[in-house]
């Protein structure tokens, strides 16, 4: 297929709430790499938190002035030498961190925790990402995107849905469980959508932004929503016959919300911390030890679990793109980031071709 286009547009995040569009030559894939026509690239909370406002991130979250965007999905238009699985025309999702491939973490599929300082590079952070017409990806970082899912569905799997699916697999969710989700941004909404498919009949959501509460209810993802406040624990207990929920997911990174997630969970319950940054204060004996609770930390996911998630999404007819509320062309990337930074939206996507007009 090899594109005849010689130049492409690409978005950079210089900080200070700015998006810079530059024109560059279309890159060529090297050994083990492919060239993708990017079809959908979604914006993540971490892009806003660590890059867009100012370059706060360090280490794995240090932005090195590359093309932005770590949640891309697209179609292969050129294959470099040495590729073993994927071919021109294939639809794929990019796992957002390219690891060395040979350390213990990479061999487990968790390239997110690759221990190689030299070779661990996240797309959109330390190597060029998906906010461009085309991007280079390593074949080993690709997940096949089934025809039943759109590219925008695929872009969501890359970070949001994969990340919560990992946490859900760790704590286990079924029809036995009432679930609390603190923070109803795109990751919280993804958690609700997956818990619903796994059978949870009572899902309670908490957020500070009214638009998010309304979205969670209008999408049918939460049965009850509560505005963040000091009475949240009491309210959750009232909704659960004074027991509290069996499972809680913090997707907010807010200290008070994390404490709520712990305290609104009943005896023997499990809590997963997914939201990044910030702190939390709780009293180990009454809040965790005496009630036999377990708190899990969960960071992104593995390539193999992403593979399995994609398979389940098709089986469940669950379309992650349903939580995308706004789509923009690449030329309007600045508007897309500004909207995401406002929080008054679900997921925001930068799309091209047929994905721009899909709902």
Give residues in contact with Zn ion (CB under 5 A).
44, 99-100, 103, 106, 114, 116, 159
Nearest distance from C-beta of residue 6 to Zn ion, angstroms = 30
Residue 82 sits at the vertex; the CA angle it makes with 138 and 310, to the nearest 5 degrees, is 45
User: Is the CB of 100 or the CB of 256 nearer to Zn ion?
Assistant: 100
Return the number of other C-beta atoms located less than 10 Å from residue 214's C-beta.
13
Nearest distance from C-beta of residue 206 to Zn ion, angstroms = 22
Nearest distance from C-beta of residue 105 to Zn ion, angstroms = 6
User: Is the CB of 103 or the CB of 338 nearer to Zn ion?
Assistant: 103
User: Is the CB of 106 or the CB of 203 nearer to Zn ion?
Assistant: 106
Indicate the SS3 state at residue 333. helix
Indicate the SS3 state at residue 56. coil
Measure the CA–CA gap between 270 and 180, rounded to whole angstroms: 11
User: DSSP assignment, residue 139?
Assistant: G
User: Is the CB of 164 or the CB of 179 nearer to Zn ion?
Assistant: 164
User: Is the CB of 178 or the CB of 351 nearer to Zn ion?
Assistant: 351
User: Is the CB of 103 or the CB of 280 nearer to Zn ion?
Assistant: 103
Nearest distance from C-beta of residue 106 to Zn ion, angstroms = 3
Give the largest Cα separation in the chain, rounded.
66
Nearest distance from C-beta of residue 145 to Zn ion, angstroms = 17
Give, for 37, the enclosing helix (H) or strand (E): strand 33-42
User: Is the CB of 159 or the CB of 206 nearer to Zn ion?
Assistant: 159
Measure the CA–CA gap between 2 and 36, rounded to whole angstroms: 10
Nearest distance from C-beta of residue 115 to Zn ion, angstroms = 6
User: Is the CB of 78 or the CB of 141 nearer to Zn ion?
Assistant: 141
Three-state secondary structure readout of 170-220: HHCCCCCCEEEEECCCHHHHHHHHHHHHCCCCEEEEEECCHHHHHHHHHCC
Q: 102: which 2 tokens?
A: 């040979």
Phi first, then psi, for residue 151 (nearest 5°) are -65, -35
Nearest distance from C-beta of residue 177 to Zn ion, angstroms = 26
**N-term to C-term CA, the chain:** 27
Indicate the SS3 state at residue 91. strand
Nearest distance from C-beta of residue 110 to Zn ion, angstroms = 9
10 Å CB burial of residue 43 (0-12, 13-18, 19+) is: buried
Percent of the chain that is helix, strand, coil (3-state, to 5):
35, 25, 40
């Amino acid at each position: 297929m090899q594109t005849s286009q010689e130049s492409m547009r690409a978005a950079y995040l210089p900080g200070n709430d700015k998006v810079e569009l530059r024109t560059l030559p279309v890159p060529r894939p090297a050994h083990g790499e492919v060239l993708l026509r990017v079809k959908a690239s979604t914006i993540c909370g971490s892009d806003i938190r660590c890059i867009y406002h100012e370059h706060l991130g360090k280490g794995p979250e240090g932005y090195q002035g590359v093309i932005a965007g770590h949640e891309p999905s697209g179609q292969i238009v050129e294959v470099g030498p040495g590729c073993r699985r994927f071919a021109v025309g294939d639809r794929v999702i990019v796992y957002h961190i390219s690891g060395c491939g040979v350390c213990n973490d990479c061999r487990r599929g968790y390239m997110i925790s690759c221990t190689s300082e030299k070779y661990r590079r996240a797309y959109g952070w330390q190597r060029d990402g998906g906010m461009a017409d085309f991007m280079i990806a390593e074949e080993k970082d690709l997940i096949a995107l089934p025809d039943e899912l759109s590219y925008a569905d695929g872009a969501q799997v890359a970070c949001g849905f994969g990340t919560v699916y990992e946490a859900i697999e760790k704590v286990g969710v079924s029809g036995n469980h009432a679930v609390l989700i603190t923070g109803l941004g795109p990751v919280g909404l993804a958690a609700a959508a997956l818990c619903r498919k796994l059978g949870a009949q009572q899902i309670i959501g908490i957020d500070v932004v009214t638009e998010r509460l309304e979205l969670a209810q209008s999408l049918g993802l939460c049965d009850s929503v509560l505005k963040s406040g000091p009475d949240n624990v009491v309210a959750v207990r009232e909704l659960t016959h004074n027991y509290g929920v069996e499972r809680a997911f913090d997707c907010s990174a807010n200290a008070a919300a994390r404490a709520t997630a712990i305290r609104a969970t009943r005896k023997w319950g499990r809590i997963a911390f997914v939201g990044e940054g910030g702190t939390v204060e709780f009293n180990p004996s009454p809040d965790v030890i005496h009630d036999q609770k377990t708190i899990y930390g969960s960071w992104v996911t593995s390539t193999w679990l992403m593979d399995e998630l994609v398979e389940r999404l098709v089986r469940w007819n669950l379309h992650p793109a349903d939580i995308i509320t706004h789509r923009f062309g690449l030329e309007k990337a600045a508007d897309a980031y500004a909207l995401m930074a406002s929080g008054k939206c679900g997921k925001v996507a930068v799309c091209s071709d047929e994905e721009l007009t899909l709902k």
